[in-house]
Structure 1
Amino acid sequence: MGQEKKAEKKTKDSSVPYGKEAKEIVAAIGGEENVDMATHCVTRLRFALNDEKKVDLDALESIDIVKGSFSTNGQFQVIIGQGTVDKVYKAMVQETGISEASKDEVKQAGAEKHQNILQRGIKILADIFIPILPAIVMAGLLMGINNVLVNPIFTEQSIIEMYPQWAGIADMINIIANTAFTFLPALIGWSAVKRFGGSELLGIVLGLILVHPDLMNAWGYGAAAAEGDIPSWNLFGLEIEKVGYQGQVLPVLVASWVLAKIEVFLRKRVIDSLHLLVVAPLALLITGILAFILIGPITFTIGSWITTAVVSVFDMAPVVGGLLYGALYAPLVITGMHHTFLAVDLQLIGTIGGTFLWPILALSNIAQGSSVFGIMLATKDEKLKGLAGTSGLSAWLGVTEPAMFGVNLRYRYPFYAAVIGTAIAGAFISFGKVKASSVGIGGIPAPLSIFPESWISFLIGMVIVIVVPFLITFIIAKRKLR
């Protein structure tokens, strides 16, 4: 009878795809008792561990399906790969005592155990901006296509000038692309209020309030201020500027936090039958008034200071600014602090009409891919060669985690080679005043987001980050990898 049960269990185990690998992964990270929570994303298993010192990295990375691992923001992440990670996670839940958890639960568990105040602040920004990133990237790509249609690039005339029948398509693409940036506060409001514990629908309404068409457009604020022609409300003798916050980040971030806190406060104190009549109207009314009177003007000024400071550095010493940002961006990715610069990019786009930081980000992604391709051609290890090839392609398409954490940081010199290449290219394109009209895919498709007049300079920067990291890595790898 016992033998029959064992045989039955063995048959059951063998019928679960990736069951063996899932057990090996759990054993390598310290066993079931070391796992507080587990979830997964598109390419990685994500764990909130009780003690990361118990992880056996050698055992973990010797498993065939594991392409690398790293720890960030209180989470230990194991890179598996798109598609396969779903099956491995399902097998892990079935074959071990680990139960399913949501990404938010794992993030919160990791944050509570391992993060300091700065890390928690960065995590909040990441939690807010990552959900809206697909919409922003989509808009960036479409704006790039529009740039190709309406700007002269390789000839004296643009495509729509040579072929007027394309003008309507170009205008339609422009409207579709600009929507995400025109109503950016609504996107941020939805994500931020949800993150702070409020109702995301109220966040959308708050964002739309800040860009209402009856308000003066923020992009015309500078000219109106110079002429002394800014519309205003008179509230019992107090003059309040009647200005919108198109393209602004800080006003809606702070206002969303206030809205969420007011809503939560009211929900706890208003009886259920009156929630619909009291909570939402009162929360929006109070937050809206505070946004126009206090939050908006203060945060708009702070945002202008940040923009002026960043622009001044790159105006006074563009080579130094590009060199430093190029050298620091990849290390910032390791800490997770790179998420804060998305807000700066969006602020620059909304204020000066373009960003000179994002092009360097795009070059950094390409450089990480180039380094890993150097490893691919130099190594004789078939598993490493396969990992390097797939992760290099992923990096060139804008997703660097497999390349950076799976290969480059493991051997270190490919990572340093990528940083060197990005620093050189960053200095070059900053000297050439290269700017992006939007945030797009940070890899080989990046030129679509670059202003056409800067294409040549940016393409030279791309050549630098393709050649320099590859050569440095390949030369060293040929000597070190046997």
Structure 2
Amino acid sequence: MSKNYRDTAIQILEHIGGKDNIEQAAHCVTRLRIALKDETQVHTDQLLNVPLVKGAFHNAGVFQIVIGPVDVDRVYAEMIELTQMEKATIADVKTSGSKKLNPMQKLVKIFSDVFMPILPAIITAGLLMGLNNLIGAKDLFYAGKTLLEVYPNLDGLWALINMMANTSFVFLPALVGWSATKRFGGSEILGIVLGLMLVHPDLLNAWNYGQAASGIGGQSIPYFDILGLFSIEKVGYQGQILPILVAAFVLSKIELWLRKRVHSSIQLLVVPITSIVVTGVLALGIIGPVTRLLGNYITDGIVFIFDVAPALGAVIFGALYAPLVITGMHHMFIAIDLQLIAQTGGTFIWPMIALSNIAQGSAALAVFWITKQQNEKSMASTAAVSAYFGITEPAMFGVNLRNKFPFYAAIIGSALAAIFITLSGVLAAGVGIGGLPGFISIIPKFIPTFLIGMVIAIVVPIVLTYLFSKSKKFGNRE
């Protein structure tokens, strides 16, 4: 069936109040993101009947219309041509919408703005780390042996993959420094320098900090002696999120303050060096130690909850993750995952996220089998495939939420799968693709258990969606 992108764009404009009601518009992989002047002019019911529109909702001050990969780019192009508006970035639209946000929404927006640009590097690192772990896992392919022991020629490949996988995590502060200073209005290059400074080879590696602090093996924490007046721990922050996030904020504010007060003729000489030196001292002397302690408390608190009541924690997270995607709060879990990996060597959060995505895809797949409507069937099939590879918006907004009961079935399946893998202690070595390929990022000894969790996340939503469809009128969108 051919797709009329111009007609779709015309109808979208009609149902959101026209060109005059738009401040700015951009798009991401699956959604149009529009900052509206008056959200009361939106006619959501009519909008949902527009071809290619799979869902629509307000989030963080921005009106979002779910269309799907590839199609969204073409609809956006038609919209720009029809309205003669300037193309905008997602950051531009979010800035326009941020005026309507409460403090919590602003915090979530910061995490989203910082981590979305570096997500490809984090996911790539997670997948490579998973592949690396598979090669070095004992008993996975051969009893009592690893692939390296059976095929010694793989050693060079294993070492190369290991180096590639670790790069993003070793220099994570530099990635976050670049993205965060860009978000806060500072110079990205200074953010990179600040991030690299926090992982400088002259500093004690963060992975060895615990041993040095405990005096294990005769180790001790080295210090910078600053003119005999005070000392600063000579410690790095590899894999840490909060230190560089706060330091990048401080760096940006100092730089912006200096730019307004230093004459343009000497700005290049004064502003960068002053910003880096002042922020560097604050980062190593105050920000780093305080935020490291705060990050440890947050991580310990989350681990404590799942240690004391793992089933309760799993059912809450497994059931609530999909609704959190609607609010945008799911972006905060990237920081928690990375903190868990840095502190404990693995994360139990990301495996539950992967299963939640699979559950949404499975519910959409059930709708594909059940529905008699050709348009619904086509949408459900493509949405299911998309969710199975980590992009859940088409399935969630285009199929499951519109029919209600598939969404409930997916949440139940996700919760049950989360309980199972949590009670089994499943951990991921990194953040990978949150769908069927997700098993690659699981620590090898937990892969068989995780695969059972995947079966639960596939079967339960399909069965429940089928049963719910028998007791409810299919396609109910009241």
TM-score by length of 2: 0.95
1:206 aligns with 2:194: yes
Paired letter, 1:221: Y
3-state SS, counterpart of residue 46 of structure 1:
strand
3-state SS, counterpart of residue 236 of structure 2:
coil
Equivalents in 2 of 1:348, 1:419: separation in Å?
25
CA gap 1:92/1:162 in 2 versus in 1, 3 angstroms: same
Of 39, 49, 69, the residue aligned with 1:52 is 39
Paired letter, 1:174: N
Paired letter, 1:399: I
1:481 aligns with 2:474: yes
Equivalents in 2 of 1:20, 1:198: separation in Å?
41
Equivalents in 1 of 2:36, 2:277: separation in Å?
43
Equivalents in 2 of 1:335, 1:82: separation in Å?
20
3-state SS, counterpart of residue 265 of structure 2:
helix
Q: Is the 8 A contact 2:363 2:410 kept in 1?
A: yes
Equivalents in 2 of 1:300, 1:100: separation in Å?
40
Deviation at 1:92, TM superposition (A): 1.5
Deviation at 1:42, TM superposition (A): 2.2
Q: Is the 8 A contact 2:30 2:393 kept in 1?
A: no
* Cα root mean square deviation, aligned: 1.5
Deviation at 1:257, TM superposition (A): 0.4
Q: Is the 8 A contact 2:225 2:231 kept in 1?
A: yes
Q: Which moved more, 1:205-214 or 1:403-412?
A: 403-412
Equivalents in 1 of 2:50, 2:324: separation in Å?
29
Matched with 2:223 is 232
Deviation at 1:67, TM superposition (A): 2.4
1:425-461 residue CA offsets vs partner (Å, 9 max, x unmatched): 1111111110000000000000100000001111111
Of 124, 137, 143, the residue aligned with 1:138 is 124
Equivalents in 2 of 1:284, 1:239: separation in Å?
19
Q: Is the 8 A contact 1:379 1:477 kept in 2?
A: no
1:365-400 residue CA offsets vs partner (Å, 9 max, x unmatched): 000101111111111111111111111110110011
Equivalents in 1 of 2:38, 2:388: separation in Å?
34
Paired letter, 2:188: E
Deviation at 1:414, TM superposition (A): 1.3
Q: Is the 8 A contact 2:59 2:327 kept in 1?
A: yes
1:83 aligns with 2:70: yes
3-state SS, counterpart of residue 436 of structure 2:
coil
Deviation at 1:417, TM superposition (A): 1.1
Matched with 2:163 is 175
3-state SS, counterpart of residue 194 of structure 2:
helix
Of 380, 383, 403, the residue aligned with 2:375 is 383
Q: Which moved more, 1:243-252 or 1:49-58?
A: 49-58
Q: Is the 8 A contact 1:251 1:299 kept in 2?
A: yes
Paired letter, 2:150: M
Matched with 2:56 is 69
Q: Is the 8 A contact 2:403 2:474 kept in 1?
A: no
Structure 2 residue runs without a partner (length 5+): none
Q: Is the 8 A contact 1:366 1:443 kept in 2?
A: yes
Matched with 1:357 is 349
Of 107, 124, 127, the residue aligned with 1:121 is 107
Of 163, 168, 177, the residue aligned with 1:189 is 177
Deviation at 1:142, TM superposition (A): 0.7
1:454 aligns with 2:440: no
Of 10, 21, 33, the residue aligned with 2:8 is 21
Matched with 1:11 is none
Q: Which moved more, 1:201-210 or 1:64-73?
A: 64-73
Q: Is the 8 A contact 2:141 2:147 kept in 1?
A: no
Deviation at 1:134, TM superposition (A): 0.3
Q: Is the 8 A contact 1:23 1:92 kept in 2?
A: yes
Deviation at 1:478, TM superposition (A): 4.2
TM-score by length of 1: 0.94
3-state SS, counterpart of residue 135 of structure 2:
helix
Matched with 2:319 is 327
Paired letter, 1:305: Y
Of 428, 431, 434, the residue aligned with 1:442 is 434
1:338 aligns with 2:330: yes
